[in-house]
Each structure stands twice: as C-alpha cells, then as structure tokens.
Homo-oligomer: A and B are copies of this chain.
Amino acid sequence: MKALEEKILTEGTVLPGNVLKVGGFLNQQIDSDFIMEIGKEIARLYESEHITRVLTVESSGIAIAVAAGIALHVPCIFAKKHRSANMPREVYTASVYSYTHRETYEIAVAKDYLSSADRVLIVDDFLANGNAVRGLMRILEDAGAQLAGCAIAIEKGFQGAGDELRAKGIRVESLAIVDAMTDESVRFRAQ
C-alpha cells in the first residue's frame, strides 16, 4: 500500500533496537481517515475469503482491526492480555513472549466469541517475530476455527516471521514490508 509506505517515510522514526515508531498515525495517535483506508484495503484483499470474524490482541491492534471489521462488516474480537472481572471464566488462552516488554503474558478470548463455524482473519499493526500471531493461531486451533489469513499493517521483513508463516502456506498480507532500516533510511520490499 503505497500510501502507508509514504506515511512511514514522512512520519515514522527509527529508534534504537529496531523500533519503528509510527505512534503519530498508527498507534497512540490514530489518523482516523487513514486507518479507515487501511481497513478498506484489508477488506479488498480478503473480500472473497468469507471472513466471519476479525481477531487481534489488545491494545495496539484494536484500531486497525476495528477498521477492518467495519470495512468487512464482520465482528471484531480482541484477545485480552489479562483476565478482567467482566470476562467469562470459559476462555481460550495462549502464552505469548513479547520481545518489546521482555515478558511472557497470557492472551485470552472468551469461548462465546469463537467457534468451529468461524473463518477468521488475524489483524495486527505490526508483524515482527510473529509471537502474537502464533498465539492467536493456537487460540483458533483450540476453538476449531479456520484461519483465513493474516492482515498486517507493517511487517518487519528482516525478522523473518512473515516469510516463515507464508512458507507454511498461510496467507499473510502486509500493507508495507520493511526489509531493512537504519537511522537514515527504510527500505521496503517490492510487492
């Protein structure tokens, strides 16, 4: 998605530790019109896939997943990182190791919201080491739900997880794939 690549180049910042900061339009501050464009692009890519639900992890994935859900006209579910008082006791869970926060956390989705009748699109803002996506895939397996594919805003291609998933036959559509980045430049994979 050319517009996303341009936005990364003009508004993104590369921080130490291979961090690509896009908090000004994709994370902490969301460019609402642009997130809806991203949602529509995801819907266009997966329109023939008979998606029944969009699944993400809280909290940075929620905005893009909601935009995709709105564009696809299907419900959007987010896995919670901590069980809350309002959460049903019956949940699917998976452990996810976060390199950003250097800790393992549990993600959980209430069993009410996923079933074997579902064909699910996993959506997230970033794909780096792939741990969050693999955690969500384990939850889908537990639920007996079908994985239709993954839709990612920004894939860090140099970390390899996207290509590993593709090698397993999983459809992974990333709207921008960063193959290399330094303080001065970001190189995108031609798509």
Residues in chain A within 8 A of chain B (CB atoms): 15, 17, 19, 21, 23-25, 27-33, 35-36, 54, 58-59, 62-63, 66-67, 69-70, 72-78, 80, 84-88, 100-101, 109-110, 112-113
> Are the C-beta atoms of B62 and A32 separated by less than 8 Å?
no
Using Cβ atoms and an 8 Å threshold, which residues of chain B touch A67? Answer: 66, 70
Chain B, Cβ-Cβ closest to A71? B32
> Are the C-beta atoms of A101 and B84 separated by less than 8 Å?
yes
Q: List the number of copies, as a whole number.
A: 2
> Are the C-beta atoms of A76 and B30 separated by less than 8 Å?
yes
Q: What are 7 inter-chain pairs, A to B, with CB distance below 8 A?
A: A17-B85, A19-B85, A30-B75, A32-B76, A33-B73, A59-B80, A70-B70
> Are the C-beta atoms of A15 and B76 separated by less than 8 Å?
no
Q: Choose one: B30, B33, B72; the contact of A77 (CB below 8 Å).
A: B30
Contacts A62-B62, A63-B76, A66-B67 aside, 9 further interface pairs with beta carbons under 8 A come to A23-B86, A23-B113, A24-B112, A30-B69, A32-B66, A32-B75, A62-B66, A63-B66, A85-B100
Nearest CB of B to A121, in Å: 12
Using Cβ atoms and an 8 Å threshold, which residues of chain B touch A54? Answer: 32
- Residue among A27, A32, A72, A76 with most chain B CB within 10 A: A32
A-B CB proximity, top 5 nearest:
A32-B69, A59-B59, A58-B59, A62-B62, A29-B113
> Are the C-beta atoms of B101 and A28 separated by less than 8 Å?
no
Using Cβ atoms and an 8 Å threshold, which residues of chain B touch A70? Answer: 32-33, 35-36, 67, 70
Using Cβ atoms and an 8 Å threshold, which residues of chain B touch A27? Answer: 86
